[in-house]
Chains A and B, each alone.
Chain A
Amino acid sequence: MAQNKSRKEHDSTETRQSPAADQGELKPDESEGGLLQIRMYRQGLGDCFLLSIKQKEEQNTKPKEEPNAFHILIDCGVHSWQKNGGDRLRQVMKNIREVTGGCLDIVVGTHEHVDHLSGFVLKKSPFLKEHTNGGFKIKKFYAAWTEKVGDDVADALRSKHGTARHIIDKAMEKYESLKSTAVNLDEHVPYQQLKAVHDFHLVPEDDIPENLQDIFKELKSRPVNKQIAVDIERDGIIRQGTGGFAGQAGVEQERTEPTMCEFAINLLRLRAEHTCYCTPGEVIPIMNQPQLRAYVLGPPTDVTLLKKDLPTKVRGEKDEHGHSSYHETYLTPSANLSGFAYSPALGIDGGLPDYIRKPFDQLGWEINSRGNLNPYPKKTKEQSKDESEKELKKKWKDARSFLKQNYQAQGQDWRKIDSDWLMSANTLGLHLDSDTNNTSLVLALETGNPGEGDVFLFVGDAQVGNWISWRNLKFQVDGKTIDTLDLLKRTRLYKVGHHGSHNATVKRYYNKDDESGQNGTTYGLELMEDIIAMIPVSHLTVANRWEMPHKPLYERLREKAKRRILRSDMRMEPLNSSDGEDCRPVATGFEDIPDQSSRRVFDNWKWRMSTSNFNPMQSESGDPLYYEIQIPLK
């Protein structure tokens, strides 16, 4: 005991000495059942949450030599557009290292976007170091089932995403090669949209740290099967036996560059003692924490739910008449094959079926990269005497002179369409983004007794399809049945999906075949009452590109949360100025959370902002490192 205690003191002293030290170190004695503290870090456009639980001494089930605190890290990333994003995130990680002593019990990686994972692979990131050397020790790594290697569906999805990324990268290159033309890329909306998708895979500082090279090598050797990608897009199914990376005979394999996020996932896999792939419907007991459990809501396991806007069957679910039940998913309304259609022009059409490679079989003359017809193939003397051959050659000549006189006519360059087809590449990009967002691991953490306590909902960037997929989920815990709607109703803390974008928080559910009818039933946020909303967003960073947070959603969140909204930026737009400012912690010491409702759900909850600031020159209200909410565990 004494040993343990001294260690604890040591820890806290260490923390106090550091610039990022904070008051309010966990004091379990203050509460009967222990404390849960949730830190929302404010690095900008990106997610990073640290949940720390401290039990009363007698309830501590951890081995004696370990600190009496339990830490869960949910995501750690920042978007490459965020100004000083890398520096800010490093400050955040330094703080995490100090608070946890480098010991993370659980790390959750919600999905493969850098604004959720970049911290793990950022230059000088402590995650790249050994625990003894200022790095981290990770006990468990939780990822969505879609990250599992060897799972047919997961592998196929990876293949599809890999192919799409490959096309996007090539399209970017193509765009950049067009710089000489009249297109001003800085102001070209489709290009900027494509770039936005591309940048989703860039770490704030874009070079690979030395010790990642090994992981890199392993990843690089993974081929991507384009045929699978096409099948998914076309039929919405994954053919038996085609999943995985084992290539089929005769199908050309493409190797694509691995993304930073794939690095991050692999790194966590290597570092963690255990990796858990979570599937919806599971209830995960948080080790040693009887008062805390995680319900896995998403991502959906049926691939058809991850795409398309047609009614899709929910796996294994039947109504009382034995009919399959259908959900209307609203995903990627025109998810389509068109992405692959750019492959020929990008010179990467190997491995694709003919109907994608060219619209007409042998008709037409190939055009080279300079925009001229390819030279006519050389023929032998015998051949060139042939009548049909002569005719063909004449046609080639006619086509060439037609091209010269019309398309390439002098002074007519302004009417050329050499890059117009590229404009539609951005739709592919948008689909890829939504698809990836939809693979978000969605966790509902519950405290107290099953079915009774408060719920903290972490949805990652789940979009509509993901939300819809959990609506009818039922969980079994301790002989009780708990359903999603119940979890939503008990939600106290909502991590707003996808930085508050318009399609990552759902309010209604439609299904023409069931009770919801044409007008739908209320769902999602509409079921929540008395919440605190946390939005990791930087309005300024995305100002010209996306509306984040989406104003109507923001206004509704303010109503639902009685203005208790925590944001990771300082610019408070969009805000309806007549309604007053958001409620957020303004002191560095713990204060009661404003709560006018009669239910008093936030009794004994407290919040504060960090003492330390991203910018030490600023006053303390300027740019705090994090907001923290403290919840007594019963």
Chain B
Amino acid sequence: MNSFSDTPSIRKLRVYSLDPSMAIQLDNFEISTSELSIRWEELEAGPVGEYLQVIDIDPASRRLYSPVDLNSRSSLANNGHTPSLSNPQFHQQMVYAVAMKTIENFERILGRRMLWRERYIDEEGGYIRETEKRFVPQLRIYPHAIRQDNAYYSPAKVALLFGYFNAQTNDPREELPGGLVFTCLSYDIIAHETTHAILDGINRRLLDSVSNPDMLAFHEALSDIVAIFQHFSIPHLLNDQIQKTRGNLQKNNLLAQLAAQFARSTGRGSALRNALGQFDEFGNRQAPNPKELGRTTEPHARGAILVAAVFDAFIRIFENRVRDLRRLATNGTGILPDGDIHPDLTNRFAEEATHAAERVLRICIRAIDYLPPLDITFGDYLRALITADSDLYPNDAAKYRIAFIEAFRARGIFPHDVNNLGEESLHWVRFKERNWDPQTLNRFLPPRNLMRSMAGLYQAEGGMSELADHLVPKEDEEEPDVSPSDRTKTSSPNNSRSQEVANEIFLMINPYEGKRDEKDADRAADKLLQAIWTGVGSEARMSGRDIREAIFVNERVFKKFLHQWLRHRFLTLKLAENMELNNLVHEIAGTFGIDIRRYLKDRFDITQVKIPELFNKQNKKPPIEVFSLRPTTRVHQDGRTQTELLVILTQSIRLPLLDTYGVQMDYNHYDRDEPEKLTFRHRGGCSLILNPDQGVIEYSIVKNILSERRIQNQMAFYRKQIEIHGYQAIVRFGLSKRTQKQQRQSEALSFVHSHAEQYEAY
């Protein structure tokens, strides 16, 4: 084992601290560049590594720029290329370094490996079933993809596309008129886009299934938050700004500004977005207006309100932390004398800012795991923040959570399903407080040993991914939005040994096929477990890339297994003596967000169940879907680590989109005589946080599919979108047969507002 001494642990790379414009400002020259320490990994030219694949092709200029070799002697000795506008190899280095840093932050905080969005639809729109084809190991980064003042994450390509453009200003004080501006050299833009990709990898439905105005805004907000709080990890930038603001971070400063050069060179003012919110003409920060949220619908602008709330919480925390320092430095008055502050004080302030920023970033990212799986709102996010933080730090001595609640409330962000804004009320309800009969519950939860296996990491055997492909009968999977003609195109894997195994298992746990009882099912589960266990002993291919693929394959196998398990349990569900069918269905819907009538219809008279009227128009009862299953390891305040299993169950049904009079809406295509009926995909489900050690559910964060209110809100949202954007909205949200496919191909995320209307006409 001499690898211990051989392999370096970090690779240092130079980048621009914010963007290249600082390097030509006398004030900021000193802090214009910095060095990032990136976790060491084997890199090929590109750079191409475990997570990222940088390909510098520039089709608009018909060029390929030679890939940078970060293993070259000069690169290793000099910490990479010198920051430079005119050297494309530096551009490649910078996107790599900043994107990796962002990924590291997420992995450190969430306690698991990041996987990119799986690829489930092929070029023709067909559904991909083979596990191996679904796995996308690397995010692609194209530093010079387009010649436009934009950069975006493309979910369809699992790629970041950065643009470059000629500055659109005629004021040389802003930027050189017509000079080139590269979005791939802006730290903020890279971090922002990478976060989009990471978040999309965690839950692609946040983009695929937008059902309220907060969802896209949340995506934007989190991306901005990550970009802004990463500013605090650049020591000399932080020190410099503390010095210049004399420790008052409420003054307009570079730390809170996003993409300054980009904004100036496109005539958008001094920053694209400012986490401090608005400033008046005297440079004073304006108080937030809680009514603004209701008026703002454009995702970036709406997201900016959430960003401002989080940053405000940070400012409150920071102020709280440095109050004593200020008193010490001013003999108790708290009022600093004019002039520069003492360098020691600067350092101490900076230290506190770093701590506070790290904690805030941690809270914000951790909260992602505590979000419901779909239809998320800013209010849900606040509850997730509070829950995530108090689970990890039960003792909130520095009143961080109070700071968050206060900052959110000031901007009108609060959940609508709580009685008050106390910390206890905002905390998600713990599952054990739900009064579920443990007997009933145990029927649904897989055995503890199985949960533990799922939570651990095991190497997949060669045939495992194929096994996953066969575990669930096709008719019981969520139907992707694929037209029948496309469905025939879906590839079906060859008959193989793994299919036989799968069939066998399927037979055993399907009570109708083999007329087996519960014990048989348990035995089948054991058999599957064994199959998985044998994988552990198999030859381990230990390079990092394969570990992530193994995780992906394992998760898929477990997902399918859990699906099978639950299906079996629902199919054999018995009605307790004093229980009515209606109550049972609604209790399960209230707890897990799903409608299980599909599994009861052969044995019970499901017409007794009261369901929203719209559902009656659909004959099909939706199957359940185990959307994701991921183990995660967290480090608690007291240093102990805990492994949890995050499971997302979902379900979806297509419902007619009604207008306010209750008539199904239609849309006229200019080239068709028949108007097309509009429908939308309504989803429900839950995020389960399981404790495998004790075999219990900690939380079930639910969006009930049978909720009439949710259906109505969602329809109102789509109607509003159609009113504003017309056909574009129908495409974007896949509201008609014709547009469902298009929706998947559309590029949902851009760094800037597209077609921002800057004037007021009608």
Judge if B619 is at the interface, Cβ distance under 8 Å.
no
Task: Name the distance in Å between A8's Cβ and chain B's nearest Cβ.
Answer: 45
B86 in complex: contacting residue of A361, A508, A541, CB < 8 Å: A361
Kindly state the separation between the CA atoms of A504 and B759 in the bound complex, as whole angstroms.
11
Judge if B63 is at the interface, Cβ distance under 8 Å.
yes
Q: By the criterion CB–CB under 8 Å, are A338 and B147 in contact?
A: yes
Judge if A553 is at the interface, Cβ distance under 8 Å.
yes
A551 in complex: contacting residue of B267, B723, B761, CB < 8 Å: B723
Q: By the criterion CB–CB under 8 Å, are A550 and B267 in contact?
A: no
Q: By the criterion CB–CB under 8 Å, are A363 and B65 in contact?
A: yes
Q: By the criterion CB–CB under 8 Å, are B64 and A359 in contact?
A: no
Chain B binder among A259-267, A401-409, A587-595: A401-409
Judge if B669 is at the interface, Cβ distance under 8 Å.
yes
Task: Name the distance in Å between A399's Cβ and chain B's nearest Cβ.
Answer: 5
Task: Name the distance in Å between B698's Cβ and chain A's nearest Cβ.
Answer: 38
Kindly state the separation between the CA atoms of A338 and B60 in the bound complex, as whole angstroms.
11
B165 in complex: contacting residue of A337, A417, A420, CB < 8 Å: A337
Judge if B607 is at the interface, Cβ distance under 8 Å.
no
Taking chain B's interface residues, is the majority helix, strand, or loop, or is none over half, making it mixed? Answer: loop
Q: By the criterion CB–CB under 8 Å, are B46 and A337 in contact?
A: no
Chain A binder among B138-146, B352-360, B572-580: B138-146
Q: By the criterion CB–CB under 8 Å, are B762 and A550 in contact?
A: yes
Q: What residues on A are CB-neighbors of B64 within 8 Å?
A: 364-365, 367, 373, 399, 402-403
Judge if A505 is at the interface, Cβ distance under 8 Å.
yes
Q: What residues on A are CB-neighbors of B727 within 8 Å?
A: 543-545
Q: By the criterion CB–CB under 8 Å, are A355 and B170 in contact?
A: no
Kindly state the separation between the CA atoms of A427 and B163 in the bound complex, as whole angstroms.
14
Q: Mark contacts of B746-762 with chain A using CB atoms, 8 A cut-off: 1 yes-contact digit, 0 otherwise.
A: 11000000001111111
B142 in complex: contacting residue of A310, A398, A417, CB < 8 Å: A417
Judge if A356 is at the interface, Cβ distance under 8 Å.
yes
Q: By the criterion CB–CB under 8 Å, are B762 and A505 in contact?
A: yes
A366 in complex: contacting residue of B63, B179, B741, CB < 8 Å: B63
Q: What residues on A are CB-neighbors of B150 within 8 Å?
A: 424
Kindly state the separation between the CA atoms of A529 and B248 in the bound complex, as whole angstroms.
54
Q: By the criterion CB–CB under 8 Å, are B266 and A334 in contact?
A: yes
Judge if B32 is at the interface, Cβ distance under 8 Å.
no
Q: By the criterion CB–CB under 8 Å, are B164 and A359 in contact?
A: yes
Q: By the criterion CB–CB under 8 Å, are A417 and B45 in contact?
A: no
Kindly state the separation between the CA atoms of A234 and B169 in the bound complex, as whole angstroms.
7
Judge if B612 is at the interface, Cβ distance under 8 Å.
no
Kindly state the separation between the CA atoms of A525 and B48 in the bound complex, as whole angstroms.
59
Query: Given A414-B122, A415-B159, A464–B761 Cβ distance below 8 Å?
Result: yes
A427 in complex: contacting residue of B148, B164, B668, B728, CB < 8 Å: B148
Q: What residues on A are CB-neighbors of B182 within 8 Å?
A: 359
Identify the closest chain A residue to B727 (Cβ).
A544
Q: Mark contacts of A351-378 with chain B using CB atoms, 8 A cut-off: 1 yes-contact digit, 0 otherwise.
A: 0000111111101111110000100000
Q: What residues on A are CB-neighbors of B478 within 8 Å?
A: none
Q: By the criterion CB–CB under 8 Å, are B758 and A420 in contact?
A: no
Q: By the criterion CB–CB under 8 Å, are A417 and B746 in contact?
A: no
Number of A-B contacts (CB under 8 A): 210
Q: By the criterion CB–CB under 8 Å, are B147 and A341 in contact?
A: yes
Q: By the criterion CB–CB under 8 Å, are B168 and A336 in contact?
A: yes
User: How extensive is the interface on chain B, given as a class?
Assistant: 35 or more
Judge if A502 is at the interface, Cβ distance under 8 Å.
yes
Q: By the criterion CB–CB under 8 Å, are B168 and A334 in contact?
A: yes
Q: By the criterion CB–CB under 8 Å, are B762 and A417 in contact?
A: no
Query: Given A236-B170, A544-B727, A553–B762 Cβ distance below 8 Å?
Result: yes
Q: Mark contacts of B159-196 with chain A using CB atoms, 8 A cut-off: 1 yes-contact digit, 0 otherwise.
A: 10101111011110000011110100000000000000
B58 in complex: contacting residue of A234, A364, A395, A414, CB < 8 Å: A364
Q: By the criterion CB–CB under 8 Å, are A403 and B57 in contact?
A: yes
Considering only residues 441-459 of chain A, those with a C-beta below 8 Å from chain B are none
Kindly state the separation between the CA atoms of A415 and B53 in the bound complex, as whole angstroms.
12
Q: What residues on A are CB-neighbors of B67 within 8 Å?
A: 398-399, 402
A407 in complex: contacting residue of B55, B147, B148, CB < 8 Å: B55
Kindly state the separation between the CA atoms of A436 and B180 in the bound complex, as whole angstroms.
27
Q: Mark contacts of B639-669 with chain A using CB atoms, 8 A cut-off: 1 yes-contact digit, 0 otherwise.
A: 0000000000000000000000000000011
Judge if B158 is at the interface, Cβ distance under 8 Å.
yes
A338 in complex: contacting residue of B149, B156, B742, CB < 8 Å: B149
Kindly state the separation between the CA atoms of A552 and B166 in the bound complex, as whole angstroms.
36
Size of interface on A: residues with Cβ below 8 Å to B: 78
Q: Mark contacts of B248-279 with chain A using CB atoms, 8 A cut-off: 1 yes-contact digit, 0 otherwise.
A: 00000000000000000011000000000000
Query: Given A399-B66, A399-B67, A550-B762, A424–B146 Cβ distance below 8 Å?
Result: yes
Q: By the criterion CB–CB under 8 Å, are A338 and B148 in contact?
A: yes
Considering only residues 659-689 of chain B, those with a C-beta below 8 Å from chain A are 668-670
A406 in complex: contacting residue of B55, B156, B158, B177, CB < 8 Å: B55
Q: What residues on A are CB-neighbors of B170 within 8 Å?
A: 234-236, 308, 310
Q: By the criterion CB–CB under 8 Å, are B145 and A421 in contact?
A: yes
Identify the closest chain A residue to B752 (Cβ).
A334
Q: By the criterion CB–CB under 8 Å, are A367 and B762 in contact?
A: no
Q: What residues on B are CB-neighbors of A367 within 8 Å?
A: 57, 59, 62-64
A333 in complex: contacting residue of B156, B728, B742, B756, CB < 8 Å: B756
Query: Given A189-B728, A234-B178, A424-B147, A541–B59 Cβ distance below 8 Å?
Result: no
Considering only residues 231-268 of chain A, those with a C-beta below 8 Å from chain B are 234-236
Judge if B157 is at the interface, Cβ distance under 8 Å.
yes
Judge if B87 is at the interface, Cβ distance under 8 Å.
yes
Kindly state the separation between the CA atoms of A318 and B728 in the bound complex, as whole angstroms.
45
Q: By the criterion CB–CB under 8 Å, are A421 and B146 in contact?
A: yes
Judge if B88 is at the interface, Cβ distance under 8 Å.
yes
Q: What residues on B are CB-neighbors of A544 within 8 Å?
A: 669-670, 726-727
Identify the closest chain B residue to A365 (Cβ).
B64
Task: Name the distance in Å between A248's Cβ and chain B's nearest Cβ.
Answer: 19
Task: Name the distance in Å between A339's Cβ and chain B's nearest Cβ.
Answer: 9
Judge if B61 is at the interface, Cβ distance under 8 Å.
yes
Identify the closest chain B residue to A577 (Cβ).
B661
Judge if A423 is at the interface, Cβ distance under 8 Å.
yes
Q: By the criterion CB–CB under 8 Å, are A543 and B62 in contact?
A: no
Judge if B338 is at the interface, Cβ distance under 8 Å.
no
Considering only residues 705-755 of chain B, those with a C-beta below 8 Å from chain A are 723, 726-728, 731, 738, 741-742, 746-747
Q: What residues on B are CB-neighbors of A173 within 8 Å?
A: none
B758 in complex: contacting residue of A330, A418, A547, A552, CB < 8 Å: A330
Kindly state the separation between the CA atoms of A586 and B148 in the bound complex, as whole angstroms.
51
Q: What residues on B are CB-neighbors of A553 within 8 Å?
A: 761-762
Q: By the criterion CB–CB under 8 Å, are A421 and B60 in contact?
A: yes
Q: By the criterion CB–CB under 8 Å, are A355 and B157 in contact?
A: no
Task: Name the distance in Å between B60's Cβ and chain A's nearest Cβ.
Answer: 4
Among B64, B163, B758, find the residue whose CB has the most chain A CB atoms closer than 10 A: B64
Kindly state the separation between the CA atoms of A334 and B180 in the bound complex, as whole angstroms.
15
Q: By the criterion CB–CB under 8 Å, are A364 and B66 in contact?
A: yes
A421 in complex: contacting residue of B53, B147, B159, CB < 8 Å: B147
Q: By the criterion CB–CB under 8 Å, are A359 and B148 in contact?
A: no
Q: By the criterion CB–CB under 8 Å, are A414 and B66 in contact?
A: no
Task: Name the distance in Å between B147's Cβ and chain A's nearest Cβ.
Answer: 4
Kindly state the separation between the CA atoms of A341 and B165 in the bound complex, as whole angstroms.
8
Q: What residues on A are CB-neighbors of B169 within 8 Å?
A: 310
Task: Name the distance in Å between A79's Cβ and chain B's nearest Cβ.
Answer: 12
A364 in complex: contacting residue of B88, B146, B159, B164, CB < 8 Å: B88
Q: What residues on B are CB-neighbors of A361 within 8 Å?
A: 86
Task: Name the distance in Å between B91's Cβ and chain A's nearest Cβ.
Answer: 9
List 17 other contacts, CB 8 Å, given A308-B170, A506-B761, A543-B668.
A310-B169, A330-B759, A336-B166, A341-B61, A359-B144, A364-B64, A365-B66, A395-B66, A402-B45, A403-B57, A414-B122, A415-B159, A417-B57, A417-B157, A423-B146, A504-B761, A543-B669
23 inter-chain pairs at a CB distance below 8 angstroms, sorted by A residue, are A308-B170, A310-B267, A333-B267, A336-B166, A338-B149, A341-B166, A364-B65, A365-B66, A366-B63, A403-B57, A406-B55, A407-B55, A414-B123, A417-B57, A417-B142, A417-B161, A421-B60, A424-B150, A464-B759, A503-B759, A541-B670, A550-B762, A553-B761
- List the 9 closest pairs (A to B, CB-CB), nearest first: A330-B759, A553-B762, A341-B147, A364-B63, A424-B148, A421-B60, A337-B166, A336-B168, A234-B178
